[in-house]
C-alpha cells in the first residue's frame, strides 16, 4: 500500500502503491493506511530522526480522484460534511509533521489526488507533456473537498485561483508551472528524486503560509475595497453567464471571497459546508452521472458493434482545407496520427497547413505542446491537390462544401486510391449517407462522421450508418473517433440524424414564440435563462434559415401523411421568401450583422412580427424550450435513430448545448420526475398542440 524508505540523511520516501489496483486512489483505504505512517513520522521528528519527506508513486498515475460511485449515491449532508472534514484533517496531518514534504509527481494527479500534492510544501513534476494535473471537479458539478480552494487561495490569490478552479482544466506539467500550481519540473525519475532531495537538504521552511500569522494572501483579501469591487464584478459576470444554475461555480467565488477574510481552519469548515450542500444536490448527481459514468461507458464501447477487433488508424486523409477540414487535421496530428490534407489546389491546401501551424503555436504558447514537439507535429502533415497521395491512408474524411455532387465527386476520386479495407467518411450535416453512398465504389466502407464545429474543440461526433454501411465499418469509425479523443454517438441515417433533428425543435419553438407576439429579446433571454448556450433565434441565424427549413421539409417527407406542420413554418417562409433574411451568412436574419460578423437583434422584427404579448410566464417559456427537445430525443430513441440513453444525454449537451446542469435530455426527466413531466406535457398540449405529446418510449421509462 505505502512503501516506506529512509536514507542516511534522515529523508523518508513514501511510495504509494495500492494493491489490486491499476491506479492509486485517494479513498478511505489509503487514508487508513496513511494514519499509522503519519503518527510514526511525527514520532521520528520528535526524536530528531526526520529531516524531510518525499511522496511519490509506484504506479503509472501519481494519485487519482476520489470514489465517484460513492459520491453519486451520497444524500446525507452531515455524512458529506464529515467526509470532507476527515479528508481535510488527513491532509492537515500530512502537511504538519514539522518537516517539509515534497510531492514528487510522476503521473496524473487530478481532483482529490492533486489535493494531496497541494498539501505538500513543494511540488516537483516529471516534464511529461502527456501527464495531467489539476482540479476538474467543477466539470462534474463539484468543488474540491479537501481544502484545495483555500490552499489555492493562499498560493495564488483570488484572481489567479478563480479561473483555475472555474475552468476545471487538466494541465500538462508545463502548463501547471505557468499557472503556479507546480514549482519545478524534472526530466526523468532520477532527476525527480534528486531534485526533491536537494530541496529538502536546503533546510526550507516547514510552515505553510496559512499557518503564519504574518503571511498575506497574494493580491489581498476580499476586504480590500479594490479587490472586493472586482469580486463583485466577477460574481455578476458569473450570474450573467450561468444564470446561477451551477451551484459549484457559485460556491467557488463565494468561498474565495469568504475564505480570504477568515483563518484557515474556519475557512475550511465553511468550505465543507458548501461541499456538503453541493455533493448531495441534484445538479451534482446529474453531472456526475452524465459527465463521468455515461462518458466512461461510451469510451468503453457502448454503442459499438460487437465482434470486431480494434481498428488502429495510422494515416488519415482529409479532403477540404477549410476551417472544418483543417481542424480535423490538427485533431489527428495532436493525437499522434499522420495526415494528408487535400484541396483543389496546392495553395489552398497550404492555407490549411497554416491554420494547423497557428493552432500548434497557440498550444505551445500555453504549454500544452512543447517547442521541441513542433517539428515532429509538422513532419506528420502533407498537403496536396492530388488524390493519389491518399494511397496508404487507413481512413479518409471528406469535409467539403455541403453539396451532393461535389461530395460524390471527391469521394470517387479518393476511393480509387484506397485499398479494400480503408474507410471513407463524409462529414455532412443534412444529406443522407445512403444517398451519398450510392456512387461509392465500396458502399459497405462508406460512413458518416459528423464533426461539430469547431472540430478541434467539440467533444462528440455522430457516427452515421447508411443502409449499406457494414457493422465493421461502424466499429472502425467508432475506434477512429476514440483515437482522436472524441465521444462517438452511433446514429441511424435519417433526416437531421440525431443532434440536428432535436436542435431544430428548439429553434422552431423560438420562432413560434416570435410569431405568437413575444418580443425577440425576451425569447433570446428566456432561452439562455433556461440554460441553453445560445438563444434560438441566434442559433437559427448561425445555421441559416434555409437549413432550418430543409430539416422540416425532410421531416415532412419522412412522416408523409402523419406529418403535422410546425407552427414556426409560416414565419420561416416569411423570413426567407418575403423579406429575404436568411441568416448570418446573408448578414441579415433575426439579427443584423456588421462587417466583422457581430450581430444585434434586428430592429425591424416588430414590423413583421408585431409584439402583442405584454405579459409572460417565465416557467412556461423555459419548459417549452426544454420539453420540445426532450420529447424529440425520446422519439429518436423510440424510432432507434439512437439506441443508447447515455449517448442521447451526452449528445444533447455537447452536440447542441442542452443545459449541462441537467445532465442531458433523459437525465432531466429523471430529476423532474416522470409523472410530473407527463402531467406538465398535458398542460402544454392543451395550450400549444400535439407536438408536446409524450412518446411511448418515455412513458414506459417511468
Helices (H), 592-644: 605-608, 618-638
Rounded Cα–Cα distance for residues 359 and 339 (Å): 15
Q: Which triple of cell numbers denotes residue 121?
A: 510544501
* Cβ 430 vs Cβ 497: under 8 Å: no
* Cβ 69 vs Cβ 279: under 8 Å: no
Burial 62-72 (b: 16+ CB within 10 A, else e): bbbbbebeebb
Q: What are phi and psi of 320, to 5 degrees?
A: 110, 110
Q: State the DSSP code for 171.
A: B
Query: Which class for 255: exposed (0-12), middle (13-18), buried (19 or more C-beta within 10 A)?
Result: buried
List residues bridging with 105 in a β-sheet: 125
HSE (side-chain half, CA atoms, 13 Å) at 496: 27
Place of cell 459499438: 304
Helices (H), 27-134: 28-46, 68-73, 77-95, 112-118
DSSP H or E stretch at residue 53:
strand 52-57
HSE (side-chain half, CA atoms, 13 Å) at 146: 26
Cα–chain center distance at 250: 19
Q: Which triple of cell numbers denotes residue 260?
A: 480570504
DSSP H or E stretch at residue 448:
strand 446-451
Q: What are phi and psi of 214, to 5 degrees?
A: -95, -5
Q: What are phi and psi of 61, to 5 degrees?
A: -95, 155
Q: Which triple of cell numbers denotes residue 487?
A: 465521444
Closest CA to 453 of 504, 399, 518: 399
* Cβ 511 vs Cβ 518: under 8 Å: no
Place of cell 456526475: 288
Q: Which triple of cell numbers denotes residue 418?
A: 484506397
Tally DSSP H helices, then E strands, for the chain.
Answer: 31, 18
HSE (side-chain half, CA atoms, 13 Å) at 435: 11
Cα–chain center distance at 502: 20
Positions annotated as catalytic residues are 115, 137
Amino acid at each position: 500500500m505505502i512503501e516506506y524508505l529512509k536514507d542516511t540523511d534522515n529523508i523518508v520516501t513514501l511510495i504509494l502503491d495500492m494493491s489490486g489496483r491499476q491506479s492509486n486512489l485517494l479513498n478511505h483505504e489509503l487514508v487508513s493506511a496513511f494514519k499509522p505512517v503519519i503518527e510514526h513520522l511525527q514520532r521520528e521528528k520528535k526524536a530528531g530522526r526526520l529531516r524531510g519527506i518525499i511522496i511519490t508513486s509506484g504506479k503509472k498515475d501519481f494519485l487519482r480522484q476520489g470514489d465517484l460511485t460513492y459520491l453519486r449515491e451520497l444524500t446525507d449532508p452531515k455524512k458529506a460534511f464529515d467526509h470532507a472534514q476527515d479528508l481535510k484533517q488527513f491532509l492537515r496531518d500530512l502537511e504538519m509533521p514539522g518537516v517539509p514534504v515534497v510531492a514528487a509527481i510522476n503521473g496524473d494527479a487530478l481532483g482529490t489526488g492533486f489535493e494531496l500534492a497541494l498539501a505538500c510544501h513543494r511540488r516537483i513534476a516529471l516534464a511529461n507533456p502527456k501527464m495531467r494535473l489539476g482540479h476538474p471537479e467543477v466539470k462534474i458539478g463539484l468543488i474540491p473537498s479537501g481544502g484545495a480552494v483555500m490552499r489555492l487561495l493562499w498560493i495564488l490569490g483570488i484572481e489567479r485561483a478563480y479561473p483555475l478552479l472555474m475552468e476545471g482544466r487538466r494541465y500538462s506539467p508545463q502548463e501547471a508551472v505557468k499557472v503556479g500550481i507546480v514549482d519545478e519540473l524534472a526530466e526523468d525519475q532520477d532527476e525527480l528524486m534528486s531534485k526533491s532531495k536537494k530541496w529538502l537538504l536546503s533546510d526550507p521552511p516547514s510552515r505553510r503560509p496559512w499557518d503564519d500569522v504574518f503571511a498575506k494572501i497574494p493580491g489581498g483579501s476580499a476586504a480590500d475595497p479594490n479587490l472586493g469591487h472586482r469580486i463583485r464584478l466577477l460574481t455578476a459576470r458569473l450570474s450573467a453567464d450561468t444564470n446561477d444554475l451551477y451551484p459549484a461555480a457559485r460556491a467557488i467565488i463565494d468561498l474565495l471571497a469568504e475564505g480570504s477574510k477568515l483563518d484557515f481552519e474556519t475557512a475550511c469548515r465553511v468550505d465543507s459546508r458548501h461541499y456538503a450542500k453541493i455533493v448531495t444536490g441534484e445538479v451534482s448527481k446529474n453531472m456526475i452521472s452524465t459527465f463521468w459514468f455515461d462518458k466512461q461507458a461510451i469510451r468503453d464501447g457502448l454503442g459499438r458493434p460487437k465482434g470486431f477487433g480494434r481498428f488502429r488508424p495510422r494515416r488519415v486523409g482529409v479532403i477540404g482545407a477549410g476551417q472544418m477540414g483543417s481542424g480535423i487535421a490538427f485533431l489527428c496530428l495532436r493525437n499522434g496520427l499522420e495526415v494528408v490534407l487535400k484541396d483543389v489546389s496546392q495553395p489552398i491546401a497550404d492555407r490549411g497547413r497554416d491554420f494547423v501551424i497557428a493552432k500548434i503555436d497557440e498550444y505551445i504558447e500555453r504549454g500544452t505542446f512543447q517547442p521541441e514537439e513542433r517539428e515532429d507535429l509538422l513532419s506528420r502533415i502533407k498537403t496536396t491537390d492530388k488524390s493519389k497521395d491518399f494511397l496508404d491512408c487507413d481512413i479518409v474524411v471528406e469535409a467539403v462544401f455541403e453539396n451532393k455532387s461535389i461530395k460524390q465527386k471527391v469521394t470517387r476520386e479518393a476511393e480509387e486510391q484506397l485499398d479494400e479495407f480503408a474507410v471513407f467518411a463524409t462529414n455532412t450535416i443534412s444529406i443522407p449517407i445512403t444517398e451519398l453512398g450510392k456512387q461509392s465504389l465500396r458502399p459497405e466502407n462508406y460512413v458518416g462522421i459528423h464533426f461539430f464545429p469547431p472540430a478541434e474543440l467539440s467533444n462528440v461526433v455522430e457516427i452515421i450508418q447508411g443502409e449499406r454501411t457494414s457493422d465493421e465499418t461502424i466499429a472502425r469509425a467508432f475506434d477512429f473517433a476514440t483515437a482522436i479523443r472524441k465521444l462517438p454517438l452511433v446514429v441511424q441515417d435519417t433526416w437531421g440524424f440525431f443532434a440536428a433533428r432535436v436542435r431544430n425543435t428548439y429553434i422552431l419553438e423560438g420562432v413560434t414564440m416570435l410569431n405568437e407576439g413575444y418580443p425577440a429579446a425576451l425569447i433570446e433571454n428566456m432561452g439562455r435563462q433556461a440554460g441553453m448556450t445560445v438563444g434560438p433565434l441566434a442559433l437559427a441565424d448561425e445555421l441559416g434559415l434555409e437549413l432550418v427549413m430543409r430539416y422540416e421539409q425532410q421531416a415532412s417527407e419522412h412522416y408523409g401523411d402523419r406529418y403535422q406542420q410546425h407552427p414556426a413554418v409560416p414565419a420561416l417562409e416569411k423570413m426567407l421568401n418575403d423579406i429575404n433574411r436568411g441568416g448570418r451568412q446573408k448578414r441579415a436574419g433575426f439579427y443584423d450583422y456588421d462587417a466583422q460578423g457581430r450581430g444585434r437583434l434586428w430592429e425591424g422584427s416588430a414590423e413583421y412580427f408585431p409584439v402583442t404579448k405584454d405579459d409572460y410566464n417565465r416557467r412556461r417559456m423555459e419548459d417549452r424550450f426544454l420539453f420540445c427537445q426532450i420529447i424529440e430525443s425520446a422519439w429518436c430513441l423510440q424510432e432507434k435513430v439512437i439506441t443508447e440513453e447515455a449517448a442521447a444525454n451526452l449528445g444533447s449537451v455537447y452536440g447542441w448545448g442542452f443545459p449541462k446542469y441537467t445532465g442531458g435530455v433523459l437525465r432531466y426527466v429523471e430529476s423532474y420526475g416522470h409523472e410530473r413531466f407527463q402531467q406538465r406535457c398535458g398542460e402544454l398540449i392543451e395550450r400549444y398542440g400535439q407536438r408536446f405529446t409524450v412518446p411511448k418510449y418515455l412513458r414506459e421509462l417511468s
